[in-house]
Structure 1
Amino acid sequence: MSLTRFDDHEIDEETPFLPNHEDLNPSQTPLPTAQICILLTTWLADSVLSNSISPYLNQLVRELPEVGGDARKVGYYTGIIVHLTTFSKRVEVNQNARQVSLHYAAIAVTSFQWNRLSDHVGRKPVLLSCLVGTTLSTLLFGLSRSFWALVLSQCLLGAVTGHVGVVSSMTAELTDETNVAQGFSMLPVAWSLGRVIGPLIGGVLSRPQDRWPHVFSHSFWSDYPYFLPCLVAAIFVCLSLVISGFYLEETLDSRPSERLRLASPNSDSPQRGAGDSPDLEMSSNELDKPLPLRSVLTKPVVVTTANYALFAMLSAVAAVYIPLVWSTPVEYGGLNLDPASIGLGLSVYGGMGGFFQFVFFSHFVSRCGLRRVFILSIASCAVIYTLFPFENVVVACGGPNFIVWLLIILQMSSLYSWRVWGYSGAMNIYIPSAAPNRRSLGAVYGLSHVATSVSSAVGQVAADWLFAFSLTHNILGGKFAFIVFLGVVCIELGVSTQLPKNTWAHLEE
């Protein structure tokens, strides 16, 4: 293995960015709590907005002129608008295939450009611009009265969601080796809070003229019955916009330039092609400017992005299968749960996931190492797919309800460990450490978000199609789809071994 020397220290790709706990300096860098809390308001607003639509989306689509109240068409139209769908009591395989979301397509097209722009003009201007666009698209959604107006508003929303990567970039730039895990563990707390607030806003405030006819008696509320939850969600975004505009500090140039690490014989150099000498010492001028895209595609970036994309696919598949299998009739391999039970299970997961990550994630990273935590989170997702058949067997045999719910709790616990610790935690630490220099951090986040958007869309389509195919042809008793994705888990475990033990090594001057 090739080594890079700097100030009499040997550095390679296995040199930990987060040192082992026995090597930690007793004095940890204080976390810039105030600045991170400002970023959390953006995360909270985005979560509230995303989760406020789901309670009323199906009813909204059902009332569209194009649908005409036909419940069989709802899943088709919602699948195009966003990544939601409804499931009928009867599994009509060919009609319930999930459509590729145009919302995700818009994210894939624009995310890289927004994050790359932040490398040139700064994080804060891009963040504020995206928040303005998010506010406008949310209000447009509430004022939409046709299918294509809804599609346009969701495409606009997807086109301005570049701020998600910018927030991650700013969090990485506000932290260092000693507190990066703690900093990123705070982001899911805000997202989990939005999972609780968002559905309440969407469920309670939709069609206000039916609930409070004396207060909302104007004809506007009859013409636009879903504008109020969109307005309240937009207010959350506006509050985040105002707070960030006045109090958020630019982070792009807030830390000194870095002298790049690189020590893998297979790594790409920002000055050389792949396979050239890995020894690298960049001038301060080169470190202070964004690198060309070809130079950004180093081995650390490619390996990290590949892991992130596979992880996103598995996450999207789980998001499809949990409500789908739970709502599917028992004779088709499901649990036949009612919407209230499904909502309860998902709400408990949403509320508790961020809390446990904030409390335990940084502790486990310091004790076990980042790669080990990531691999364990991948392995835990195998439990999700494995438990579906067992849940169905218990229900089909008339087993006690508490056993079914114990299996569901185990399944949701595995989902929490997998998605929150691995997807939201470990990957958000690996990505900034993979960036060739700080001025290319936005580009790296942009590439990762493009990859995850595409893989999520592919995962959603594949999940629905394989589930339907397995049931239609009775392949392995309808369990073939679960076995396929267990194979994908094995592939992801193999790819994850290419990650370093902690993070890709960085050296600061």
Structure 2
Amino acid sequence: MSAGDNSQIQVDVNLDKKLMHQEKPSVTPVEVGNRCPAPRTPLPRVQLITLMLIQLGEPVVSKVIFPFVNQFVRETGITGGDEWKTGYFGGAIESAFYATEAMCVLSWGRASDHVGRKPILLSGLLGLTLSTVGFGLSKQFWSALLARCAEGALCGNIGVAKSMLAEMTDLSNIAEAFSFLPMVWALGGTLAPLIGGLLAQPAQRWPHTIGKLDFFRNHPYILPCIVAACVPMLAFVTGLIILKETLPSRKIRCMTLTAASPGSLTDVEDPRINRPSSMGNAIEQQLKHPTIRVLLVRRIITAIANYALLAFFDQCMAILLPLMYSTPLSLGGLGFSTFTIGLILGAWGMSNGLFSIIAFPRLLRTFGVKRLYIVSSVSSLLCVAMFPIMSYLAKHSESVNTRIWPILIIQLALYILSYTGYGTIFVFINHGAHANARGTLNGLAQMTVSLMRALAPSTTASLFAVSLEQDIAGGNLVYIVLCIITVVSICASFQLPNQ
């Protein structure tokens, strides 16, 4: 092996240590509940609220079109009157958001490692506002698809907010800070369909007031898009005034090599590191601009894989719940009306938000980070198992009776418990990474998750349709496949590091 190869290996080894090494604290979050808790640092409430407002933009903007997207597709004429094509083109618009987000999110993360978190976040929020309004102004399918792609691309900087959240917290409060993310997502998922459903086609709904304005008659879906766009716009203004930069290299001077001690870093003291200045320069440069290859260590890969499985399950549930609940009883569904499904999902969203605030911190102190994530994975499996049980009972009783409602409530409670996985997996992803690598790391994680969210809707809907049409496994094929995926998720959860 050449001397150059040896030098490169030494650089990579030292770089891995710099990027991933942290001294083990006396009490880590995973140990909480087994030993006396460490002193907790108060959360930066103003900064935290600002970041949560920024995070709220993604679920609101991405889901506001769900109530009216199929009707919009019909009105564009792209289907040529073929009703079977409505779902295809509607699904294309829905999935375009996550597909383009997956393509752009890593670039946003790497850019934030170079120029700072705040400018990347603010530029994305402003663009997201404009592209959402652009969707509402669209009258043709292709212009709407382009606007939807722009939304996903500009919302790709949402992983940067997670980097900021990790940088403004420490080991004592990072899990509690990330526990607010599921609440925000649930809130956005509850508000968005209400905005889209209530405000779409306002000229028909209020003909004597808004209906008199030609603008709203010509653009029947602009009103819900404007209201949804107010969320990222408000986040932009609030962030511009209040949000503080958290990237250390933008707050303090960059690390430089001292002339007196070649190979050492002025801001990092490690007596074990004593290398020639050329090697120190190489390490310093890669610390400032870390490559993806450097980040792909086992601990990070395991955390991202768990995050991807969790997101895939969550997106599948978002499709399956209304699909199964609305399917006729004779086919194994519950035959609920749209109004009933809306009430159930709305109640679930509010309950999930309250649970995240009230119960999650206590569960975290009781179980610790890793064990709570394992509990959430097991809850996912049990949640899916409720589907075939309810389907069997509904088929044989031909009604939703008192035996089915308790199972439905248990299923929704398990779904809420599975959501605690979001608050814990973010800790594994962010803890231990060097600050200059955190934006890239969150971008990589968000890219993987966005791909899962783009694949889940079509996969789930297709499996559900095939299960019923071919009567495979009594119409339960989709549930069996999802159970297998959750079992894989449980196995993966045990591979997470104990610290």
TM over 0.5, shorter chain: yes
Residue 96 of structure 1 corresponds to: none
Q: Cα 1:13–1:66, aligned 2, differ >3 Å: closer, same or farther?
A: farther
Task: For 1:440-459, list aligned pairs within 5 A.
Answer: 440-459=437-456
Residue 423 of structure 2 corresponds to: 425
Q: CA separation in 1, counterparts of 2:236 and 2:123?
A: 9
Q: Cα 1:456–1:193, aligned 2, differ >3 Å: closer, same or farther?
A: closer
Answer whether contact 2:27 2:37 (CA < 8 A) is retained.
no
Q: CA separation in 1, counterparts of 2:62 and 2:230?
A: 14
> Which sections of structure 2, spanning at least 5 residues, go unmatched?
1-15, 256-271
Residue 478 of structure 1 corresponds to: 475
TM-score by length of 1: 0.83
Counterpart of 1:195 in structure 2: which amino acid?
Answer: G
> Which sections of structure 1, spanning at least 5 residues, go unmatched?
83-100, 260-278, 504-509
Q: 2:120 aligns with which of 110, 115, 126?
A: 126
Task: For 1:71-90, list aligned pairs within 5 A.
Answer: 71-82=83-94
Q: CA separation in 1, counterparts of 2:44 and 2:168?
A: 7
Superposed CA offset, 1:333-367 (max 9, x none): 22222111111111111122122112121221222
Q: Cα 1:152–1:285, aligned 2, differ >3 Å: closer, same or farther?
A: same
Q: CA separation in 2, counterparts of 1:317 and 1:190?
A: 19
Q: Tell me which moved more, 9-18 or 57-66.
A: 9-18
Counterpart of 2:71 in structure 1: which amino acid?
Answer: Q
Residue 235 of structure 1 corresponds to: 230
Task: Quote how far apart the aligned CAs of 1:209 are.
Answer: 1.5
Q: CA separation in 2, counterparts of 1:237 and 1:167?
A: 13
Task: For 1:81-230, list aligned pairs within 5 A.
Answer: 81-82=93-94, 101-216=95-210, 217-230=212-225
Say yes or no: does 1:412 pair with 2:409: no
Residue 352 of structure 1 corresponds to: 351
Counterpart of 1:453 in structure 2: which amino acid?
Answer: S
Q: Cα 1:493–1:281, aligned 2, differ >3 Å: closer, same or farther?
A: farther
Q: Cα 1:176–1:12, aligned 2, differ >3 Å: closer, same or farther?
A: closer
Answer whether contact 2:28 2:171 (CA < 8 A) is retained.
no
Q: Cα 1:347–1:68, aligned 2, differ >3 Å: closer, same or farther?
A: farther
Q: Cα 1:45–1:107, aligned 2, differ >3 Å: closer, same or farther?
A: closer
Q: CA separation in 2, counterparts of 1:65 and 1:141?
A: 17
Q: Between the two proteins, what is the percent identity of the paired residues? A: 35
Q: 2:51 aligns with which of 15, 39, 46?
A: 39
Task: Quote how far apart the aligned CAs of 1:388 are.
Answer: 1.3
Q: Cα 1:228–1:461, aligned 2, differ >3 Å: closer, same or farther?
A: closer
SS in 2 for 1:154: helix
Q: CA separation in 2, counterparts of 1:202 and 1:449?
A: 26
Answer whether contact 1:81 1:102 (CA < 8 A) is retained.
yes
Residue 264 of structure 1 corresponds to: none
Task: Quote how far apart the aligned CAs of 1:214 are.
Answer: 3.7
Q: Cα 1:182–1:257, aligned 2, differ >3 Å: closer, same or farther?
A: farther
Residue 239 of structure 2 corresponds to: 244
Task: For 1:357-372, list aligned pairs within 5 A.
Answer: 357-372=356-371
Answer whether contact 1:257 1:288 (CA < 8 A) is retained.
no
Counterpart of 1:427 in structure 2: which amino acid?
Answer: I
Q: 1:499 aligns with which of 483, 489, 496?
A: 496
SS in 2 for 1:37: helix
Q: Cα 1:342–1:35, aligned 2, differ >3 Å: closer, same or farther?
A: same
SS in 2 for 1:44: helix
Q: Cα 1:325–1:5, aligned 2, differ >3 Å: closer, same or farther?
A: closer
Superposed CA offset, 1:216-272 (max 9, x none): 21212111011111112112221110110111000111889999xxxxxxxxxxxxx
Q: CA separation in 1, counterparts of 2:26 and 2:300?
A: 15
Q: Cα 1:200–1:494, aligned 2, differ >3 Å: closer, same or farther?
A: closer
Counterpart of 1:499 in structure 2: which amino acid?
Answer: L
Answer whether contact 1:258 1:438 (CA < 8 A) is retained.
no
Answer whether contact 1:18 1:177 (CA < 8 A) is retained.
no
SS in 1 for 2:51: helix
Answer whether contact 1:206 1:225 (CA < 8 A) is retained.
yes
Answer whether contact 1:287 1:439 (CA < 8 A) is retained.
no
Q: Cα 1:162–1:30, aligned 2, differ >3 Å: closer, same or farther?
A: same
Query: What's the C-alpha RMSD, in Å, of the aligned pairs?
Result: 3.0
Counterpart of 1:471 in structure 2: which amino acid?
Answer: L
Q: CA separation in 1, counterparts of 2:424 and 2:348?
A: 19
Residue 90 of structure 1 corresponds to: none
Task: Quote how far apart the aligned CAs of 1:211 are.
Answer: 2.7
Answer whether contact 1:102 1:151 (CA < 8 A) is retained.
yes
Task: For 1:368-407, list aligned pairs within 5 A.
Answer: 368-398=367-397, 401-407=401-407
Q: 2:64 aligns with which of 41, 47, 52?
A: 52
SS in 1 for 2:486: helix
Counterpart of 1:402 in structure 2: which amino acid?
Answer: T
Task: Quote how far apart the aligned CAs of 1:280 are.
Answer: 8.5
Count of residue correspondences: 457
Answer whether contact 1:185 1:361 (CA < 8 A) is retained.
yes
Q: CA separation in 2, counterparts of 1:326 and 1:434?
A: 43
Counterpart of 2:87 in structure 1: which amino acid?
Answer: G
Q: Which has the higher helix share?
A: 2
Q: CA separation in 2, counterparts of 1:13 and 1:33?
A: 24
Residue 462 of structure 2 corresponds to: 465
Counterpart of 1:108 in structure 2: which amino acid?
Answer: A
Q: CA separation in 2, counterparts of 1:29 and 1:255?
A: 21
